[in-house]
Amino acid sequence: MVNLDRLSIHRKYDPSGMLVHLKHFPEQCHSAWNKVMNYGMPSDYAQINKVVILGMGGSAIGGEVVSNLLMTESAVPVWVHRDFDLPRFVDERTLVIAISYSGNTEETLSAFNQLVKSPAKKLVITAGGQLGQLAQKENVFFSIIDYPAPPRATFPYMFASLVGIFNKLGFLSEKSADIHQSIDFLNRMVDELDITVPTDSNPAKKLAEKLHGKIVVVYGGGALAGVARRWKTQFNENSKNWAFFEIFPELIHNSIVGYPLPIQAKKNLFTILLRVPSLNPRIKIQYEAVIKILEENELPFEAIDGTGDNTFMQILNLILFGDFTSYYLAILNQVDPTPVKVIDFIKQYMSEHQE
């Protein structure tokens, strides 16, 4: 197995600098928050009764995590829409936020072009591209992401931007203190998970070693649904590794029944259970029961608890921990965590097969 404590190994397999983006996680949160706090949001944007977030992949996941948070704090429902067509229920009392780091995501552009003709309130978060050009042309309020990175590495920028937007609109309780406390907390985390910290003292390195050679299944419940998806997609894109995610309480109604078979698959699976103290008490009991079933079926697993003073910080803790773990798994897999050549192939294939 690759020795994660050898710094030369990281230089060899991370020539594009994914590790640098992980270290900038707290800085991105700080930059995005300050930018949004200086925005003058249109006053009528607070008069909506629902929100739709258009996005795909790394651009959409920030919206999903924030929408999970809003479910516990806001009466305004938020949907993350990953598709080509705008939902039919979008109307004048809907705020639609189109997010695409590149500004060229086909699905998001397709839905946004339909959005332009609707009476909905509109907002765009992008680094430019066609979406940025359309937003300017249509006089749509938009925020520019000025941090250069692969879309998935700008999660903290998109997450903090959305939290700031919903904070200003009054859909979330005041989050300034949470953001600033989280930034200090995340800076300490970066130091604790850095490549210079030996494996024996580095929980992300230790978890990556357990996952090496395994198909990873990530479990999350309640506010952790989007976090579980984030872990899954980071293993896919960074580690180039098979991974899936499941959500409590739904998974206890089906997934657990499949544990026994096929027998030969057992040695190739590893389950991660993400937890925070604020989970519904009944879901906590479900976690306990599922752990017992995993043990009875001799299936390897690990429960990961989010740390921090509140759910907000615990979610960011879990996301950064998952990001570092996926990075270390990429190094163990001896792959560059940055490029996603098969996604580039699909996009090129789609562009060559226009209707």
Structure tokens at 144: 């520019």
Q: Is 350 helix (H, G, I), strand (E, B) or coil?
A: helix
Active site residue 347: yes
Beta carbons within 8 Å of 349's beta carbon, 6+ residues apart: none
Q: Which of 117, 137, 253, 353 is catalytic?
A: 253
| φ/ψ bin of 266: left (φ > 0), alpha (ψ from -120 to 50), beta (otherwise) | alpha
Three-state DSSP string of 120-142 = CEEEEEECCHHHHHHHHHCCCEE
Beta carbons within 8 Å of 123's beta carbon, 6+ residues apart: 45, 95, 96, 97, 98, 140, 141, 142, 143, 165
Q: Which of 64, 107, 237, 246 is catalytic?
A: 237
Active site residue 237: yes
Structure tokens at 24: 């900038």
Active site residue 295: no
Q: Which of 35, 50, 212, 347 is catalytic?
A: 347
Give alpha helix (H) positions in 218-340.
225-237, 281-296, 311-332
Supply the residues annotated as catalytic: 237, 253, 347
